[in-house]
Amino acid sequence: MPGPVVTAGERVVLRTVEREDAAVLQRSKTDPRIRFSLGSVFPSSRAQLESGMEEWLESDSTVAYIACVDDDPSAGHPDEDETTVIGSVSARHVDGDRPWLAYWLLPEFHGEGYGKEMVRLAVDDIFSSHPVHGISAGAYGFNEASRGLLESLGFTQEARQRQCRYIDGAYRDEIQYGLLRREWE
């Protein structure tokens, strides 16, 4: 059963992450079209993911959302057939000054604007719910879609770590972005 609605946009709904979401979250750890963009070099089993979820979901320093397209976004707990999971977005260290934002979208939903709406909703919720000064995020140099998404939302490139991570057969650059609260408001 999908978790309750945290916030909703025009097409995308952000819901709480529940333990039952482990199967879809595992795709981010196994599907090379997702995991390489996240910098996950090795795939993870469902058991590995589930054991890590306990700590992750119960931490006050992390917020996590499942992004969905719902038939009725006002419904608190819809049935499985009333919602379609499209991705996830999370932020670590929301108890600090600049949490780190991470997100992914299932490949079958790329190029439709869902990712931008999903991240915009998460940034809105983080700034409205936590006294953070800014939000940081990163994207690998080869991930032009993610870099474009961040830049379109007002994130500024702050650093580039050259060839810092070996991913999918090559060393890759990581570009770090930041967005200050005053720039968002």
Q: What is the pLDDT of residues 127-163, one digit of tens each?
A: 999 999 999 999 999 989 999 999 999 999 999 999 9
Listed residue (29, 67, 62) closest to 48, CA to CA: 29
**Residue 127 CB: number of other CB atoms within 10 A?**
17
- Between 47 and 60, the more confident residue is 60
Sign of CA dihedral 142, 137, 104, 83: negative
Please state, in angstroms and rounded to a whole number, the distance separating the CA atoms of residues 148 and 34.
Answer: 17
Instruction: Categorise residue 111: left if φ over 0, alpha if ψ from -120 to 50, beta otherwise.
Output: left
DSSP code per residue over 137-152: EEEETT-HHHHHHHHH
Please state, in angstroms and rounded to a whole number, the distance separating the CA atoms of residues 166 and 168.
Answer: 7
3-state secondary structure of 31: coil
Alpha-carbon separation of residue 31 from 23, 24, 104 (angstroms): 12, 11, 11
pLDDT confidence of residue 25: 74
Mean pLDDT, residues 60-64: 89
pLDDT confidence of residue 138: 94
- Domains in the chain with CATH codes: 5-133 (3.40.630.30)
Q: What is the pLDDT of residues 101-128, one digit of tens each?
A: 999 899 899 999 999 999 999 999 999 9
